Amino acid sequence: MSNIFESMSDEQKNDFVKRAMDCKTAADVTALAKEYGKEISAEQAEKILSEINNLEVELSDEQLEKVAGGWSCHKGHGLCLTDANEWF
């Protein structure tokens, strides 16, 4: 099996993975690979799709608390502006 990322820059690799996360079928992954000048087999496309679907994002305890609303710097009166700056 050839490495789809062979000869891709880091930027291209990151872009490919981000775009592949929106793919719904192996055919979508195959078409995306063609945009990057890569020919992949149906099996390779299925493997990529499967790996992407199995990705999990891990958040720190602090991040989980913020998302769940368990933390506020204004004693329950909303989010701190310093936290909002992290989003922009």
Q: Is 20 part of a structural domain of the chain?
A: yes
Count of positions (residues) in the chain = 88
pTM: 0.60
- The pair of structure tokens assigned to 39 is 């020919």
37 pLDDT band, cuts 50/70/90, is very high
Q: Is 5 part of a structural domain of the chain?
A: no
Number of domains in the chain: 2
- Note whether 14 and 49 are same-domain residues: yes
- The pair of structure tokens assigned to 7 is 């000869």
Q: What is the pLDDT of residues 2-24, one digit of tens each?
A: 488 888 999 999 899 899 999 99
- 3-state per-residue secondary structure call for the chain: CCCCCCCCCHHHHHHHHHHHCCCCCHHHHHHHHHHCCCCCCHHHHHHHHHHHHCCCCCCCHHHHHHHHCCCCCCCCCCCCHHHHHCCC
What is the mean predicted confidence (pLDDT) over 48-75?
69
Residue 1 has pLDDT above 50, yes or no: no
Q: What is the pLDDT of residues 38-47, one digit of tens each?
A: 999 999 999 9
C-alpha 29/C-alpha 49 separation (Å) is: 7
What is the mean predicted confidence (pLDDT) over 54-64?
70
How high is the pLDDT of residue 84? 46
Structural domain for 43, as ranges: 10-53
What is the mean predicted confidence (pLDDT) over 34-38?
94
Residue 54 has pLDDT above 50, yes or no: yes
Q: Is 4 part of a structural domain of the chain?
A: no
Positive or negative, the CA dihedral 26, 17, 60, 65 is negative
